[in-house]
Chains A and B, each alone.
Chain A
């Protein structure tokens, strides 16, 4: 274990091409880009379906089954196709586009489910009231439903962020960047094992930092006044209240 820490606290391990700081920044870049892309794809679908109140069951079940595709298999497939392929893709490195697409798909299920459930949990009487006040569909959506759904929407994004970060290490399997390289190398070479453990620790530590940052961002962005008992419940409900919206909205 002392080897692990001496590696982690040696500035030489962090500097230069292929150093820890470069790999860490590259992995962050991959994760954040994939998350933003997944939000751009998933949120409109989920929010719109939530607004309509229809087809959500289908969307959620499809995206849930999507979780069954091993991300590594998806990545290997995408890298083998002529598009997105395994070429260089800007700062995302080799097979960068394939990696981004694979991570995007990985991030979609929590984003879609949370956003949809968030929309459906807006109480029916509030919707009625908004309609009674003469609000149009878009007005209802922007002024009433979205603000009320925001906590769950954000919790989906937060969950996806941590999962995508931890999974982005697979980029190394197709020659891409990130801390996955450090981990793989360490575990493939018995004489460099401590580097692998150091890489793994670093991934877990950054995941915790991201989780904490996302949690405080979520708190800051939440416009709904505090109600500790209920909010606690919502805060923690990212995954559970998901697949069966009927069950969740009923409770």
Chain B
């Protein structure tokens, strides 16, 4: 009898909540006046959720939005998350050549497959392209920007005569880096095997993480793992060692595009190739510094850069 009111309340509440959920499903795209031939075609970009990838994702986002596409930029934690839906729901991915190649390789040939990437960019591209094609993915132009793993030391160590990894041959060092470093040919495996460095311990502090910088600065580790593009190094007073024997596979930026999407919307190819041509490690390093050190928004930095380069 007195149940009518409660039931009505429940019904109202449910309605209110579903209304709340249904409304406002907008995506914060890069915006900008549509000038190109995109005609508001929806376009989904997936990227990984770390500062450098976010910045490059924003460059793609702002660029393609300006060409008239309705861009949805999705930043996921690991490549694994978008690989199963690209191509498909995802149309464009700002990729790293070697890492993407190995991911496709593992998907096609199983986890133990022989690596396809080498330190030679063109050779790696030639090896990766067929794998990508089989999946319905087209790789556009390689950029000169090449974001490889790299190892750093303190300024004092560098002043003491260290400039290349070969300078460490025969020495025993503690390495601070990501926990998966052990045994990898582009990490501990290559340092011991190719360079003959004795890695006495790996501190699993993460790739280019604040903890890793601190460990090297405090002398807890003598070598730290980061990438060739890392604006924090200057800021922290740390110096990269040259990979003079080339253990790092090529990780050039490369736009990976769904072949089907590209066939229908060929006008995205040229702008993306132009963007790749405008980037190199120094440029990205500086742009990234504006995001991670000065804390500007990636979209703002991307728009500034694209405008100054005349790309939008």
A and B touch in the complex (CB under 8 A): yes
Binding site for B on A (CB under 8 A): 3, 18, 86, 94, 172, 174-175, 181, 184-185, 187-194
Q: How far is the CA of A187 from the CA of B83 in the complex (A)?
A: 12
1/0 per residue B59-103: CB within 8 Å of A?
000000000000000000011100100000000000000000011
Q: With A3-B111, A181-B179 as given contacts, are A190 and B80 in contact (CB-CB < 8 Å)?
A: yes
Q: How far is the CA of A174 from the CA of B79 in the complex (A)?
A: 21
In the complex, B128 has a CB within 8 A of chain A: no
Nearest CB in chain A to that of B179: its residue: A181
Contacts of A172 in B (CB 8 A): 179
- Choice from B79, B106, B211 contacting A94 with Cβ under 8 Å: B211
Give the distance to chain A from B208, nearest Cβ to Cβ, in Å. 13
In the complex, B196 has a CB within 8 A of chain A: no
Cross-chain contact A192 with B204 (CB below 8 angstroms)? no
Q: With A189-B180, A190-B103, A191-B102 as given contacts, are A175 and B204 in contact (CB-CB < 8 Å)?
A: yes
Q: With A190-B106, A191-B106, A192-B180 as given contacts, are A181 and B78 in contact (CB-CB < 8 Å)?
A: no
Q: Supply 27 A–B pairs (Cβ within 8 Å), ascending by A.
A: A3-B111, A18-B204, A86-B211, A94-B204, A94-B211, A175-B203, A175-B205, A175-B206, A175-B209, A175-B211, A181-B204, A185-B179, A185-B180, A187-B78, A188-B78, A188-B80, A190-B102, A190-B103, A190-B106, A191-B102, A191-B103, A191-B105, A191-B111, A192-B111, A192-B180, A193-B80, A193-B111
* Most chain B CB inside 10 Å of its own CB: which residue of A175, A184, A194: A175
Contacts of A3 in B (CB 8 A): 110-111
Question: Size range of the interface on B?
Answer: 20 to 34
Q: A175-B205, A193-B80 are in contact. List 14 more A-B contacts (CB 8 A).
A: A18-B204, A94-B203, A94-B211, A174-B211, A175-B203, A181-B179, A185-B179, A188-B78, A188-B180, A190-B80, A190-B102, A190-B107, A191-B102, A191-B106
In the complex, B290 has a CB within 8 A of chain A: no
Nearest CB in chain A to that of B202: its residue: A18
Give the distance to chain B from A83, nearest Cβ to Cβ, in Å. 16
Contacts of A191 in B (CB 8 A): 102-103, 105-106, 111, 113
Contacts of A192 in B (CB 8 A): 111, 180
Q: How far is the CA of A175 from the CA of B107 in the complex (A)?
A: 29
Contacts of B103 in A (CB 8 A): 190-191
Contacts of A188 in B (CB 8 A): 78, 80, 180
* Most chain B CB inside 10 Å of its own CB: which residue of A174, A188, A194: A188
Q: How far is the CA of A117 from the CA of B206 in the complex (A)?
A: 43
In the complex, the 10 A-B pairs of residues with the closest C-beta atoms, listed nearest first: A191-B106, A190-B103, A175-B205, A185-B180, A190-B106, A191-B111, A188-B78, A181-B179, A187-B78, A175-B211
Give the distance to chain B from A93, nearest Cβ to Cβ, in Å. 9
Give the distance to chain A from B212, nearest Cβ to Cβ, in Å. 9
Cross-chain contact B111 with A194 (CB below 8 angstroms)? yes
